[in-house]
Amino acid sequence: MPPLSHHHLLLSKLHSLNLLQGWCTYILVCQDGSYYIGSTENLTERVLNHAEGKGGTHTKENLPVVFAWYEPHPNAESARQRERQLKGWSRSKKNALARASATQFSFGLHPNLRLP
């Protein structure tokens, strides 16, 4: 049996955390060190889309991406409100949030990428 790809390992871990559905806000770290902040109703599908270059233009141009953080929300409005709030944060605050989650989500780290 061939070894699992990074994307398959990521999918497996997301499934094991039951992050399949429900609104959430999330942060990805791109190859250039920038952050991508978004919200979605299906985190597994969205993160995999980004990882495969099918997400937003910014992530597509800055692969690979690292799944760094997520926060569940009761509805789209709440998730999008949090997304807007995080986008207004300083880089140092985003760094602290990503680092605090790094141990929990270390499975999402691409072998050639490190958190800022």
Instruction: Please state, in angstroms and rounded to a whole number, the distance separating the CA atoms of residues 73 and 3.
Output: 35
Instruction: Please state, in angstroms and rounded to a whole number, the distance separating the CA atoms of residues 66 and 69.
Output: 9
pLDDT of residue 76: 97
The most confident of the ranges 44-48, 69-73, 78-82, 106-110 is: 78-82
pTM: 0.77
Burial group, residue 46, by CB count within 10 angstroms (0-12, 13-18, 19+): buried
Res. 105 pLDDT band, cuts 50 70 90? low
pLDDT of residue 82: 97
Q: What is the arithmetic mean of pLDDT over 90-96?
A: 90
What digits encode the pLDDT tens for the residues 5-24?
Answer: 555 566 666 666 555 578 99
Which residues touch 36 (CB under 8 Å, ≥6 apart)?
27, 28, 29, 30, 50, 55, 56, 58, 59, 65
* CATH architecture assignment, domain 6-108: 3-Layer(aba) Sandwich (3.40)
Q: Identify the residue with better confidence: 89 or 44.
A: 89
